[in-house]
Amino acid sequence: MIIKTRTKPLPLTKLESAIPRLSPQFPALSAMKEDLKKRWKGYSGELQVDYHLGNLATSCTILQDVYLRVNGKNVQIDTTANAGRSIHLIDAKNYSGTITFDTDLKQLTRSDGKIEAGFEYPLTQLENQKFLLSNWLQQHNLSNIPIYYYVAIADPSTIIKVEGDRNKIAKFVAHGAAIPKMIMDKERELARAGQPKLAQYQIGKMILQECGTFDKDIMKQYGVTRKDILPGVICPDCGLRGIERKHSGWWCSKCKQKYYNAHLKALADYFLLVNDFITNTECMRFLQLTSRNTATRILKASGLVYIEKHRHWVWRRL
Ligand SMILES: [Zn+2]
């Protein structure tokens, strides 16, 4: 059973919202675009691996995107699968070309035929995740639970090479499609060895209760201030910013078409990048409206909640 499903990571959503609202001259723009590309690749790799791990849903309690605080540190695990007798951690990696694990130097390199790049060694990362999760379990009076980990290579066309101990890597690293069988084999081995059964669902619920949401201050990282976020409703088709309010819709002069709900995305951008509340005046500025009444009508119809005391609107929260 999957008790926690993956959603699009906040830093990715923020980058997607911010980039079209920055001046083309903004200094960090190209770095942000590069970051967005990498985050998309990572996220789509996670989704690809989720597809294969779905095969475990009948026998395991699965949590996607686990984010816990342990010993003053945050630990982020792509997927945990609580099986009959142990917990399995799965980290998705999305690389194109050929990747090489060097077991002596503990390094991972990727080559796309032209450029070679180095990455953090996934097994060290996972060893750390295992250590922190095992600490967390102990703190919740759950000791002696075996934890295993795997690196799931998302893209089936990625070639995996090893320098050094091939058998060691084969125990931990495989393409996503092969991971469920590795987990089931391990479970059978544990059953034969007499490992007691795990309260997999209850443990899953406990983890779920304490899971936070991963976020990163993208604005601070790239030096984006609220003033840098350019206003205007963006055309959902061509991306033109500043489309015009006309007869209860938004008219894009480039597409020659009217969009009725284009302001919803603009309001979502505002809450994500500018502030967690909006006033009528700010709404007029951000949506580039000339009428106060139109702004009020839009705010009312957008599912926002009006806070009388502060005379502002918040995002479906009281
Ligand atoms: Zn357009």
pLDDT digits (tens, 9 = 90+) for 64-78: 999 999 989 999 999
pLDDT digits (tens, 9 = 90+) for 170-187: 999 999 999 999 999 999
CA of 253 to the centre of ligand 1 (A): 7
CB 229 within 8 Å of CB 218:
no
Residue boundaries of the structural domains of the chain: 2-210, 231-314
* The predicted structure's pLDDT at residue 112: 86
Ion ligand 1: residues, Cβ under 5 Å? 235, 237-238, 240, 252, 254-255
* The predicted structure's pLDDT at residue 318: 45
CA of 241 to the centre of ligand 1 (A): 9
CA of 32 to the centre of ligand 1 (A): 24
Residue ranges of the chain whose pLDDT lies below 70: 317-318
CA of 16 to the centre of ligand 1 (A): 18
